[in-house]
Amino acid sequence: MYTHRFFCSLLLALVALLAVSTSAHAQKRATKRATAKIDSAQWRREHYIVNRDSAYANPYVALRKLMGGNRRFVENKSIKPRQSREVMLSTEKGQKPFATIVGCSDSRVPNEIIFDQGVGDLFIVRTAGQVMAEASYGSIEFASLALGSKLIVVLGHQKCGAVDAAVKRPEVPGHIISLVNAIKPAADKARTMGGDVLENAIRQNVIDQVNELRDLEPVLAREYKKGRILIVGAVYDLHTGRVEFVPETLRNLPEYNPAGDASTKQK
């Protein structure tokens, strides 16, 4: 009787051990397959992967990298890159963001998430309505000159409260009026357009701010005109998660010219 029980227990133990071993091997095979898939050219194409070093070196590549990251976000393919503790520690000695985002402070527009980027990738300057003043100008210039960021994106968003205030002109307290006053020109232009006044004002505000930076002396105007940096605008849709780069800001862009000589052509 004891011998029978012993063999039954031994058999059950062997079955359990075999099951654990099989599961472990299956997990290893699955991990290996997943790793191979992630490293494959097909996976990179399907997830719109753009090399980070190339994006840092060329603003047009940086633009494609942001577009690809937002497309991943919209299609629920976010890979959440460069977010490990190791990456965080590696940035302790310095930073090399491949793009500068001049955006609204709105809590519904988390830049790294909507562009699917990680630690050290984006240099972000945020105020309500992305209204800019001396401190903003200096921060953007710092990102360009000191950190080597060659792409600047002015990022507005749908249903922006600051722009809405500039359209409706309510009584506002304190320094909030400075935000409203800065956006009033865009709101005035929007009233002359057909369609939704708020949505038109949001887009026009982005266009005006892009032009403001392109003409900002002495640093950004010089760098932009010589083709060393790129300044464009975009609007984020809160409902779809899509970032639309405003066509008016993508026309007649300077050809990237790291030497910055006078022979820069217009694209």
CATH number of the domain enclosing 186: 3.40.1050.10
The domain tally of the chain equals: 2
| Closest listed residue to residue 223, CA positions, set 178, 168, 264 | 264
Average pLDDT over residues 14-37: 55
Residues 97 and 189 in one domain: yes
Query: Once rounded to an integer, what is the mean pLDDT over residues 140-156?
Result: 98
- Does residue 24 have a pLDDT over 60? no
CA distance 163 to 209: 13
The verdict on 138 and 35 lying in the same domain is: no
> Which amino acid would we find at residue 190?
A
Q: Say yes or no: 217 and 99 in one domain.
A: yes
* pLDDT greater at residue 108 or residue 24: 108
Taking residues 11-26, what's their average pLDDT? 56
Task: Looking at the structure, tell me whether residues 12 and 69 fall in a common domain.
Answer: no
Q: 5 and 135, same structural domain?
A: no
Q: What are the percentages of helix, strand and coil residues in the chain, rounded to 5?
A: 55, 10, 35
pLDDT-derived band at 90 (thresholds 50, 70, 90) equals: confident
List helix spans (H) across 125-196. Answer: 134-145, 161-168, 176-190
Give the tokens for residue 42.
Answer: 């097909």
- The answer to whether residue 125 is domain-embedded is yes
Return the closest-CA partner of residue 57 out of 153, 154, 148, 118: 148
Considering the domain boundaries, does residue 267 fall inside one?
no
DSSP-assigned letter for residue 256: P
Per-residue model confidence (pLDDT) at position 4: 60
Residue 2 pLDDT > 60, yes or no? no
> Which residue range is the domain that position 15 belongs to?
1-39
Distance of CA 222 to the CA centre of its chain: 25
What gap in Å lies between CA 108 and CA 105, rounded to an integer? 9
Q: What is the mean pLDDT of residues 194-208?
A: 97
Kindly indicate the confidence band of residue 260, based on its pLDDT and cuts at 50, 70 and 90: confident
Confidence grade of residue 22 (pLDDT, cut at 50, 70, 90): low
User: Has residue 216 got a pLDDT over 50?
Assistant: yes
Cβ burial 173-206 (10 Å sphere, 16+ → b, else e)? eeeeeebbebbbebbebbeeeeeebbbbbbbbbb
Spatial distance between the Cα atoms of 254 and 250, rounded to a whole number of angstroms: 10
Taking 70 as the threshold, does the pLDDT of residue 89 lie above it? yes
Are the CB atoms for 96 and 151 separated by under 8 Å? no
**Per-position DSSP letters for 16-83, written without gaps between them:** HHHHHHHHHHHHHHHHHHHHHHHHSHHHHHHTT---HHHHHH-HHHHHHHHHHHHHHHHTT-----S-
Higher-confidence residue of 145 and 263: namely 145
Q: Is 23 in the same domain as 102?
A: no
Q: pTM score, two decimals? A: 0.83
Residue 30 and residue 58 share a domain: no
Confirm whether 119 is domain-assigned. yes
19 inside domain: yes
Look at residue 68 in the predicted model and tell me its pLDDT: 97
| pLDDT confidence band for 25 (50 / 70 / 90) | low
What is the mean predicted confidence (pLDDT) over 200-222?
A: 98
3/116 same-domain check: no
Residues 30 and 56 in one domain: no
Phi, psi for residue 217 in degrees, rounded to 5: -85, 155
61 and 11 co-located in one domain: no
Do both 83 and 28 map to the same domain? no
